[in-house]
Amino acid sequence: MPPVIPSECERISSAQNPKIKNLLLLQEKSRARREQGLFVVEGRRELQHCLEAGFEIDTLFVLEEMADQINSPAPRVIALPRSLFEKVTYRGATEGVVAEVRIKERRLEDLTLRENPLIVVIEGVEKPGNIGAILRSADAAGADAMLVCDPLTDLWNPNLIRASLGGIFTVPTVACTSEEAISFLQARGIAILTAQLQDSELYYDTPMTGGTALVMGTESTGLTDRWRKAATAHIRIPMQGQLDSLNVSVSTAILLYEAVRQRQPR
C-alpha cells in the first residue's frame, strides 16, 4: 500500500522535474544561490536551528513515507519517493527533510554583543569543512559572533552548513572585509589577538577575559599584514614536533577554550 500523502503536499517522482533540477543547482552553484536568494539545508536538526535563527523556508522537500509526520511552516511542501530523495540529499533518506531557505544577510551593525564579547575572526579561509568545524567550536565555546573576512566560499555552501551541524545558524556569522572588521572591533575596544608564529607570545600568557577577537588566517599563508598591524597582541600555540602548523579549525578550538578557561569563576 503506498504511503498516505497529506493533501497540502505536492508529489514529484521524476528527476527531470524543474524543481528537482533547481534544488540540485542550488546545492552546486554559489551563483545560483546569489541570484535566487536561496540556499539548501538538509537534516531536521540543522533545519530547526535555521528556523530558530529567523530564516524562512521557501520550499520543503520530504521523504514521502515521512510526509504525514511533518508539521512545517513552509508555504510549499513536496513529497519525494525514496529513490529520488536519495539522489538529492547527501545523507540519503535518513532524516527525511531538505529545504530551500531564503537567504538572510547578516551585517556587522546587526550583531548584539554582551559585555566582554568573544569573537572569532577568520581571514581568507577557503575550505567549507574548516569553516564549518570552526563554527561548531565557536558554538561550543559560547562565542558571540564569527566574522568571515574576505571570504573565498559563500556562507550558504551546503558543505559548510553540513560541517557546522547548524552552527552557521546558532553563531551569528557575518561576511565582511578585513577593513570593516578591524574598524568594528577597534570602535568597540575589543582586543585583536592574531594567531601567528612570528613576533608572538604564548596564547596562555595572553589575557582573554575582556572583549576579545581571535583572528585566524589560512594554514598556507597566515594572516595579511593589515591584521598583524591592527593587532593588540600576537599569540602562538607551542609546537613540540617537526611540523609548524595545526589545522586552522583545531587551532581555533584551542584558543577558544583558553578564553573559556580564563573566564571561568575562580
Report all structural domains of the chain as residue ranges with CATH numbers, in order of start. Answer: 9-102 (3.30.1330.30), 108-262 (3.40.1280.10)
pLDDT at 229 > cutoff 90 = yes
Helix (H, G, I), strand (E, B) or coil at 79: strand
pTM of the predicted model as reported, rounded to 2 decimal places:
0.90
pLDDT band at residue 93 using 50, 70 and 90 as cut-offs:
low
Give the pLDDT confidence score for residue 2 in this predicted structure. 41
| Packing angle of the helix pair 128-140, 248-262 (nearest 10 deg) | 10
Which set of grid coordinates corresponds to residue 51?
A: 528556523
Q: Which of 14-28, 60-74, 207-221, 225-239 has the lowest mean pLDDT?
A: 60-74
- Phi/psi at 207 (5° precision): -65, 135
Mean pLDDT along residues 27-33: 96
State pLDDT tens for residues 48-70. 999 999 999 999 999 988 777 76
Which of the pair, 151 or 53, is modelled with greater confidence?
53
Question: Which phi-psi region, left, alpha or beta, contains residue 222 (left: φ > 0; alpha: ψ -120 to 50)?
Answer: left
Name the one residue in this structure whose C-alpha cell is 595572553: 206
pLDDT band at residue 3 using 50, 70 and 90 as cut-offs:
very low
Distances (CA, A) of 190 to 120, 152, 198: 12, 25, 22
Question: Which phi-psi region, left, alpha or beta, contains residue 217 (left: φ > 0; alpha: ψ -120 to 50)?
Answer: beta
Nearest of 104, 89, 8, 99 to residue 57 by alpha carbon: 99
From CA 254, how far away is CA 125, in angstroms rounded?
17
From CA 219, how far away is CA 237, in angstroms rounded?
13
Give the pLDDT confidence score for residue 9 in this predicted structure. 81
Give the pLDDT confidence score for residue 94 in this predicted structure. 63
